Amino acid sequence: MKYRMKRIYLLFVFVALTACGYQFAGGEGILNGTVHSVHVQMFENKSRWSDIDVIFTNDIISELLRSRSVSLNDTSDVTRLLGTIERVHVDTLNRSADGRPQEKYIEVTLSVYLKDKNGKKIWQSQPLKTRESYFPGETHQNTLNIQMDAIKRISKRVAMTMVNELGQGF
């Protein structure tokens, strides 16, 4: 008897939730399912940091492949996903008593946008400014390597954010 009451109760809850128009989070995303195939174009790099355009472009491609939300196309006669790295800024968060930097951060400012096959912009992200803190190394070369690792973490985070923002609308 108890088992039957549980089933009736669960059925009642299910009917009540669906009848009220309740929906689970997610959905079609920004593009409402209009883009099914995309060509990821190399990001434009306006900063002085070499190769970060490759890092950001590859991370976007990897995240799109992982999400399986859109098919990737090598031809440019489909919707194109483009990005511009506007600025990379390095600054100090705090210093030791003798004035040496103890902790620093690197901040990347960029935008991502979609153009249709005719070159018309159909979507653009808000200018995205994101930062990652790090501890400087003992040598200049070590610090540069640490900074590049911080940029890679930023790139992965940006790729996830952009694909999530576009949602399943791809």
- Whether 23 shows a pLDDT value over 80: the answer reads no
Q: If pLDDT is split at 50, 70 and 90, which confidence band does 3 have?
A: low
Q: What is the mean pLDDT of residues 4-18?
A: 54
Q: At 133, give phi and psi (nearest 5°).
A: -90, 160
- Whether 143 shows a pLDDT value over 50: the answer reads yes
42-101 pLDDT, tens per residue?
999 999 999 999 999 999 999 988 988 788 888 877 889 999 999 999 999 898 888 888
If one compares 52 and 16, the residue with the highest pLDDT of the two is 52
Q: Which residues contact 92 (CB under 8 A, 6 or more apart)?
A: 101, 103, 104, 105
Q: Which residue has the tokens 């399912």?
A: 33
Task: Return the domain boundaries, the chain.
Answer: 32-169
88-124 pLDDT, tens per residue?
999 998 988 888 888 999 999 999 999 988 889 988 8
* Residue 168: predicted pLDDT: 54
Alpha-helix residue ranges (DSSP H) falling in the chain = 2-19, 52-67, 140-166
* Residue 127: predicted pLDDT: 86
CATH of region 32-169, choose from 1.10.10.10, 1.10.3720.10, 1.10.240.10, 3.30.160.150? 3.30.160.150
CA-to-CA dists, residue 89 to 71, 78, 83, angstroms: 34, 34, 18
Q: If pLDDT is split at 50, 70 and 90, which confidence band does 4 have?
A: low
Q: Which residue has the tokens 């912009």?
A: 121
Pair of tokens at residue 92: 């100090």
